[in-house]
Amino acid sequence: MILRQPNGTNFPVTASEADRLAALWAKTGTDWNEAECIAALRLYAALWNQPISKTKGSPVERLAQLIGRAPTGVYNKLMNFRSLDERTDAKGFSSISQVDRRMWVLLRSGEA
């Protein structure tokens, strides 16, 4: 109904939808911790040389659900790692954090 009739201000949500919204709200504006970065890095490695999608049911969306992040945030993190990956000519994103760089070094050394 939110999309079909956007004039309303209050919309009922299920308990699971409320939980998901609370998880997203709690992480909004927070930096990624090392565990989240490692999870994203492992997903990046698993998806190496494959298309990366954030659509419903995709690995990106499933990881987002698990760590309480938005699929777009997980996708962006994977694109940060892509920009560090010298094996590909594909462009990534340049908004790389120090944690991203540290995790990338760990992956390349086999410790992540």
DSSP string, 85-107: -TT--S---S---HHHHHHHHHH
Q: Domain residue spans in the chain?
A: 34-109
Q: What share of the chain is helix, strand, coil (3-state, %, to 5)?
A: 55, 0, 45
* Six token digits for residue 102: 């540290």
For residue 86, the model assigns a pLDDT of: 81
For residue 4, the model assigns a pLDDT of: 67
Helix and strand totals (H; E) in the chain: 5, 0
pLDDT, averaged across the chain: 85
What's the pLDDT band for 69 if we cut at 50, 70, 90? very high
Task: Write the CA distances from 89 to 49, 54, 94, integer angstroms.
Answer: 11, 21, 14
Residue 112 has pLDDT above 60, yes or no: no
Residue for token pair 């992540």 = 112
Residue 19 has pLDDT above 90, yes or no: no
CB-based contact 50:90 (threshold 8 Å):
no
Q: Cβ of 42: how many Cβ atoms within 10 Å? A: 14
